[in-house]
Structure 1
Amino acid sequence: MKNFVRMAVAAAALAGCGLAGAQSAGTWSARVGATYLSPDVDSGTLSAPSFPNTRVDAKSNSQLTGGITYMLTDNVALDLPVGLPFKHDLTGAGAIAGVGKLGSTKVIPMTLFAQYRFNEANAAFRPYVGLGVTYAYFYGEKTTATLNGLTGGTLANPTTAKLDRKFGITPQIGFVYNFNERWFVDAAYYKSFLKTNIHLSSGQSISVKLNPDVFAIGIGYRF
């Protein structure tokens, strides 16, 4: 019985060492999951000629995502989220609220986070804070007949739109819960402070603060 107890204690100690080593400096991990991105829009007004107080809004979207993390030290990490492009519908707001969909755009939000992870390297639960730089790569813009009607576009010469690709700052909070030395769950909330401009082929433009709220969760494996 004493030998069994000694063996159990030794096994637990080895497991703890494995968990510590897996979360320490120089280790890599990867995860896969989902992300919900909800723009918190503060729209300017469309430049003339337009109805007064003509504004826009952007709808939320969810996508399959993941990420790669590298531990610089036992507490400091670099994290790179990856995933499929998000697609957001653009709708009328302000004076044109209720007109429906004006267009859509796809975006790849490329962000690199520096994170500080609390607790010891062998802890099962590790909350963290992060700060990242985001580059929002907008592409694939499409417009609708509704926008044509508002801007004077026609079937032969429809009004098109282009969004500026911009940088933004992204603070983050989250946690990692380690099931064992290899498998874990990672959950995070972050907010990108991002402003862009929408340019129409009609010569009009509008400045929009998108400032999306982002919720991400994933299951990961540590190498």
Structure 2
Amino acid sequence: MRYPFLRAGCALAIAALCGAAQAQVAGTFSVRAGFTHISPQTKSGNLSAPSFPNTKVDVGSDTTLTGGITYMLTDHWALDLPVGLPFKHAFYGDDAIAGVGKLGQTKVVPATLFAQYRFGEANAAFRPYVGLGVTYAKFFKNRSTMALTAVTGGSPANPTTARLDNKFGLTPQVGFVWNFSDRWFLDMSYAKSFLKTTAHLSSGQSIAMRLNPDVVAIGVGYRF
């Protein structure tokens, strides 16, 4: 094989699938560290009057360092708590104001607790799972640009600021755990948060947004 790292990867995969894994049994804890990418699938309402018709916004994606803690309630049921650094999402003009560029940004901590069901035997090397979580999105450190001030009729002396509502939402999830040694594993998952919020501007205007982000997470973990 021309590439040594591919040969090493294949060897690791064979060892993981054929070897005995540390059992994921009731009462065991595990921790992981990795990265999560959140990509909002934004559907924006119109900015309330006074504004141009079809004044909408779009929300950018972000990736940050994350991890998680998992506790096995039984051999199949688990509680999972993702943790990590805050995400930073930029807001851009869309539709009638698509050319104005960046309107502002916010930081968010999407705190989620998942209940997961893991398929297969407790000592299986590969265990797919499904989960359902409740997410609380906490928005903070909201910042605005002069583009937002211009769109909303503000001025440099009286710039427009924004505040976003913190919201709850349901988050279904699918994923898998791949045990490549007795205690070390790879965890990958995809989740969809059904989340809405409303931005309230200092100008008295507001705009509702359905964010519904796609969430992809990968992490390497250790089981105790």
Is the partner of 2:151 in helix, strand or coil?
Answer: helix
Map 1:152-163 → 2, pairs under 5 A: 152-163=153-164
Local SS of the residue matching 2:121: coil
Cα separation, 2, equivalents of 1:91 and 1:174: 31
Instruction: State the 1:99 CA deviation.
Output: 1.0
Match of 2:149 in 1: 148
Partner of 1:4: none
Alpha-carbon distance in structure 2 between the residues aligned to 1:19 and 1:31:
15
d(CA) in 1 for partners of 2:216, 2:70? 17
Q: Give the structure 1 partner of residue 105 of structure 2.
A: 104
Is the counterpart of residue 19 in structure 1 residue 6 in structure 2?
Answer: no
Alignment of 1:99-178 (within 5 A): 99-178=100-179
CA offset at residue 217 of structure 1?
0.1
Counterparts of 1:9-88 in structure 2, within 5 Å, are 16=20, 19-20=22-23, 23-88=24-89
% identical aligned pairs = 69
Q: How many pairs does the alignment contain?
A: 206
Pick which of 125-134 and 144-153 moved more: 144-153
Task: Return the index of the structure with the highest Cα Rg.
Answer: 1
Distance across 1 between alignment mates of 2:76 and 2:150: 55
Matched residues in 1 for 2:210 and 2:35: separation? Answer: 24
Mind listing any 5+ residue stretches in structure 2 that lack a counterpart?
A: 1-18
Q: Distance in 2 between matches of 1:130 and 1:43?
A: 28
**Structure 1 residue 180 displacement after superposition:** 1.8
Q: Distance in 1 between matches of 2:91 and 2:151?
A: 14
The runs of at least 4 consecutive aligned structure 1 residues that moved more than 3 Å come to none
SS in structure 2 of the partner of residue 98 of structure 1 = helix
- For the residue of structure 2 that corresponds to 1:19, the secondary structure is coil
Deviation at residue 142 of structure 1 after TM alignment: 0.4
Taking the aligned partners of 2:66 and 2:28, their CA distance within structure 1 comes to: 21
Distance of 1:151 and 1:59 partners within structure 2: 21
In 1, distance between residues paired with 2:173 and 2:217? 11
User: What is the alpha-carbon root mean square deviation over aligned residues?
Assistant: 0.9
How far residue 65 of structure 1 moved from its aligned partner, in angstroms, is: 0.4
Deviations 1:82-117 (A, max 9, x none): 000000000001111121000000000000000000
CA deviation string 1:130-178 (max 9, x = no partner): 0000000000000000011111212221100000000000000000000
Q: CA deviation at 1:118?
A: 0.2
CA distance in 1, matches of 2:77, 2:161: 45
